Chains A and B, each alone.
Chain A
Amino acid sequence: SQTIHQWPATLVQPVGSPLSLECTVEGTSNPNLYWYRQAAGRGLQLLFYSIGIDQISSEVPQNLSASRPQDRQFILSSKKLLLSDSGFYLCAWSPGGGGANVLTFGAGSRLTVL
């Protein structure tokens, strides 16, 4: 069966520091991978999605970036965090191969920027 791992679970970082959140999926190949952000009490904002290595779509221009160094690994990064980057970050995956498919979320990473 497929599983998705996301870490760290919680993170407290000062303004201006870098960020790296990692997500890996097991038990499948060529998945679609996603990063969403959820601000406190708010909805799910799509940040990036990837249908393959070196194929990453950015939905929101900001100081975040995403990379997919391996087929089942998705990394969210920032060089300098802002206060507004605080939130609950969720990685998700869906089966690849085209068409709309069920999205499964990781457990999330709660980021607090001070």
Chain B
Amino acid sequence: GENVEQHPSTLSVQEGDSAVIKCTYSDSASNYFPWYKQELGKRPQLIIDIRSNVGEKKDQRIAVTLNKTAKHFSLHITETQPEDSAVYFCAASLNNDMRFGAGTRLTVKP
């Protein structure tokens, strides 16, 4: 099955700086790559996603890039704010099978 690796496991940035989280996947047939944000004790919430026919997608301060050849995708958060502090998960999906990375704990220091 699909295997998703995510780095780094923890990330600390100063408010206003950018944060980048990277993921790799193993199954070249995977075609959907969402990113989820999970605040402490709560359910993961989708923040952005990208499909395999697109290389980049942006939504305000959040962007995701996908390199299908290298089988990796990244989340970019610009102008970070304290409320961006959370655990972020990447995932890769082929049809109905969605696998998640181990998560990145992002801390934004005011």
For A45, what are the chain B residues with a Cβ–Cβ distance below 8 Å? 100
Is A15 on the interface with B (CB-CB < 8 A)?
Answer: no
> How many positions in chain A have a CB within 8 Å of any CB in the partner chain?
25
Is B46 on the interface with A (CB-CB < 8 A)?
Answer: yes
Is B99 on the interface with A (CB-CB < 8 A)?
Answer: yes
CA distance in complex: A99, B102 (Å): 24
Closest to B104 in A: A43
Per-residue CB contact flags for chain A residues 33-52 toward chain B (1 = under 8 Å, else 0) read: 01010000011111001010
Interface residues of B in 1-54 (CB under 8 A from A): 1, 6, 31-32, 34, 42-46, 49, 51
- Find A46's partner among B42, B43, B98 (CB 8 Å cutoff): B98
Is B69 on the interface with A (CB-CB < 8 A)?
Answer: no
Question: Given A32-B96, A44-B89, A59-B1 in contact, is the A103-B46 Cβ separation under 8 Å?
Answer: yes
Q: How far is the CB of B35 from the nearest CB of chain A, in Å?
A: 12
